[in-house]
Amino acid sequence: MEISRRLYDELRTGRLVALLAPECPDDCLAAYELLSAHGVILEIALRTDAAEEGFRAVTGAHPDALLLAGTVMTPGQAERALAAGAAGIVSADYVPEVVDLCCERDVLCLPGGLADAGKQLARKAAAYGLSLEELHARHPWQWGYKLFPAFAGTTDNTGLARAWRGPYRDLLVVYTGGVTRDTLPRIAAADTGAVVCASALAAHLDDPERTASEIAHWRAVLAGSEDETAPAAPVRTAVARTAPAHLDGAPGPRLVTCGELMLRLSPPAGVRLRNAGSLAVHFGGAAANVAASVAGFGLEADFVSALPENELGLSARRTLRAHGIGTGAVRAGQGRMGIYYLEHGSGPRPSKVVYDRAGSAFARLQPGDIDWSGILEGAAWFHWTGITPALGDNVAAFLREGLETARELGVKVSADLNYRSRLWTPERAREVMTSLMPYVDLLIANEEDPEKVFGLRAEKSDVEAGDIDVEAYGTLAAGLIERFAFETVAITLRESVSASHNRWSAGLHDGRHFHHSPVYEVPVIDRVGAGDAFAAGLIYGLLSGKEAPDALTFAVAAGALKHSIVGDFNLVDAGEVARLAAGSASGRVIR
């Protein structure tokens, strides 16, 4: 196919690909016109709703444009990208069905990864009915693979390309993932014919002179003529926002959350940790739980965090993506994966949690590690919890950067107190959290955390005994608003009859009135993450334009459903929550 041959030749000669996650179609047109003038191929990531229209905008103005479609993970995405004007398809993984479609159309296809270079070539050859040698000779544009990630923190994967070229001579390797000014010289030294793809090449499209200078620098390094010891510009984790498919096909408000994602290990129900012979594996963490719920409801959700550069980190990242959560601001960092062990309680025996999280990648975050403006620009809401600043002064300072940016950009902010006694003392929590409250619009808490963090207690209530005085919590919420000038305060109210049976409700003060939700009698399958499910339901309700009482009712229903689901994430959709909120609590089979 002529267009595939042209694209392949341009990749071989130009050697630079700029990755763009567009916010609007005009971004694509402007990027193409600037980058193509310097011989740089534009790859448009199918992460936003603007991508497909962006292809059309470019090819409408420039019918001969050679564009790559990136982050293509399904045949349907590939079909739509090609129909919109893409000349080639790039995937983050080896997806056989996408390869088959591209070979059927004879369209350049670049699957990605670290282990499937030969497998995808064999698939391509089989699709054409050719041997590998014949594929290379007759369809050279299919003789390529994307090395992803080229770098993951201190891990350098570029040596794989040499190994692949042993059996697959002249293989075109496109290096992406962790490719920056700092790592570029290492690629150039390892591979004199390397093609590199980086979002950094599209980072300053509003400044043509800076973009031209950056392209010239990258091209010189690849040619071996640039001083590789020259100081590089400060590098922060670049942000590529991702958008899930919405139920109605239209984009909605975008939520950003920040926190640590942990590995959760738990024995079967009824088995003590001390006697466990097997442990079920889940991922969870307060902020990630909220993002997963909101994405499940159909809104965009991005997650700010850090994960280790190992198989656990990769699995965690894939889990986030599988639940529709954007991971463009999840930094690949040094350190380990935080772990917590959960022993499920039953009847009079309470649940028990054991933490093993010291030295995690997230706990090593420092101010300047994330481009907060990049991730929060255009967001409607930013959510965090008290667990994050409790992990260290460096993490608290990192979070404060995000809160300051949110304030500057006019982004609504919610915080869940989430006090953890194993992470800090009440005195330290009070000092740090008080300093962060001026940035908060919506405060969320359970029935006991306001006392532990701020020393404010609901009178006539005994949390340990499960005695809740709703009016007293209304007074407490009003006091928090008066003290910190919050717009809204929401407090979940749990009455623990036993570890297996709770009564669940919540109250919300909107600055004028205190509203109390319906009370649910909930059998407990897994209560971890119920508070996060409530927070997600409340945020979703408010972003969807619900009045405060209705948003509260939706949130409490979401939290009630979480008690029935194993794992941290609340795997329900908005319709299921709405049905329960409307009074459908019989549990009858839906056919």
- The residues annotated with a catalytic role in the active site are 532
Residue among 297, 291, 289, 235 nearest 262 (CA): 289
**Interatomic CA distance for residues 478 and 512, integer angstroms:** 9
DSSP designation for 128: H
Q: How many CA atoms lie within 13 A of 101 on its CB side?
A: 23
Q: Is 425 helix (H, G, I), strand (E, B) or coil?
A: coil
Residue among 558, 448, 548, 570 nearest 504 (CA): 558
One-letter amino acid at 146 equals K
Looking at the DSSP bridge assignments, the partners of residue 552 are none
Query: Which residue intervals of 249-391 are DSSP H helices?
Result: 286-297, 311-322, 372-376, 387-390
Contact 432, 392 (CB under 8 A): no
Contact 189, 164 (CB under 8 A): no
Q: Is 280 helix (H, G, I), strand (E, B) or coil?
A: strand
Tell me: cis bond preceding 234? Omega within 30 of 0 counts: no
Burial class (CB in 10 A: 0-12, 13-18, 19+), 588: exposed
DSSP designation for 339: E
Task: Show Cβ contacts of residue 193 under 8 Å, excluding neighbours closer than 6 positions.
Answer: 12, 15
* Residues written for the chain: 591
Burial class (CB in 10 A: 0-12, 13-18, 19+), 498: middle
Contact 186, 194 (CB under 8 A): no
Order of strands, sheet of 172-175, starting from the edge strand that comes earlier in the sequence = 108-110, 88-90, 67-70, 41-45, 16-20, 195-198, 172-175, 144-147, 112-113
Q: How many CA atoms lie within 13 A of 324 on its CB side?
A: 22
